[in-house]
Structure 1
Amino acid sequence: MRYIAGKVVVRILLKRYLDMETIDFSVNELGKPYHKEIAGKQTVNFNISHSGEFILEGFAVGMDIGVDVQEMAGCPDYREIAGNFYTAEEAEDVINEGPELFFQYWAAKEAYVKAIGIGLGRGMDFFSVRNGEITEKGRKGQGWHLYPVKIEGYAAYVAAHKKGDKSNEL
């Protein structure tokens, strides 16, 4: 139900913002949804996530954007999952700090991979989100920013990057 509600809200908000009766959507080669180009209108990038009782949606003009929300419910295998999907340093952080950090890292990482349009297919250990910064292969910054979203009982992040910054593209 939240999946459908999220899509309906995106359609309604984009129609209002773009002042259009209908909007056509498509997906890129990796499955990231986008609205088709409309003559004379700005392209609005968007992303949706849902978990538990929440739907998180992000919209941006001139920026790549990804969002993720994770209910911090029980996850007995969080250490093993961190060991398989996180950098070695992040996995160690999770072992030392516990499940809340596991969920914070997961939401930040998933927001980033959704923003760059690759989903989880490439994995999440090729970059780090330690200290609220995205670092890939030892390079900090890269023009990407992580913004935590405060929701009690949930971990949620927005990842955003200004388009056209060629020096920071992956």
Structure 2
Amino acid sequence: MKTILKIIGGLVLLFGIYAIIALLVFDNTYHYEKSVVINAPKEKIWQQMNTMKGFNQWNPWMKLDKNMKLEYSGTSGEVGDKYCWDSKNDDAGAGCQEIKALVPNEKQTTEMTFKRPFAGQAMSDIVLTSEGNATKVTWSMDTEQETWMKIMKPMMDYQMGKSYGEGLENLKKLVE
């Protein structure tokens, strides 16, 4: 029994040390990005990302709730194109995503406003770069995070890696 208590105590101590280091070292801004090279021209990929409806064809979070309520507004393919989602499932939550800037065949910038399960705001870019006959697609997100969330950075990186990886693979399958 003493051995188990020592192990638990050691783990608690290690987590405490990690938490203090994370709070001191990690910044309040959070940035994540992931890239994939797709064997298709920029123009073909652009058709799948220049509207919110097109984006949702490969958006990895759409699969979290088949009954998610979606509402689109604004002019499709223009700044202001927006969709809001509402799910009973806390994994999907509720919020809105709106196109804030478009550079045809090069870059889409969106703003995400999260309502549930946590309130928050983030900016996201999808950038297309020619690589010979292929295109490098880089998807990024930037947000401010509360101080206590710094402790969660490794878990956030892992989760974002899975989600962005899945989304980029969905996009790749759609256009290749």
The normalised TM-score by structure 2 is 0.29
Q: Between Structure 1 and Structure 2, which shows a larger proportion of strand residues?
A: 2
Larger radius of gyration: 2
Higher RCO (C-alpha 8 Å, min separation 6): 2
The normalised TM-score by structure 1 is 0.30
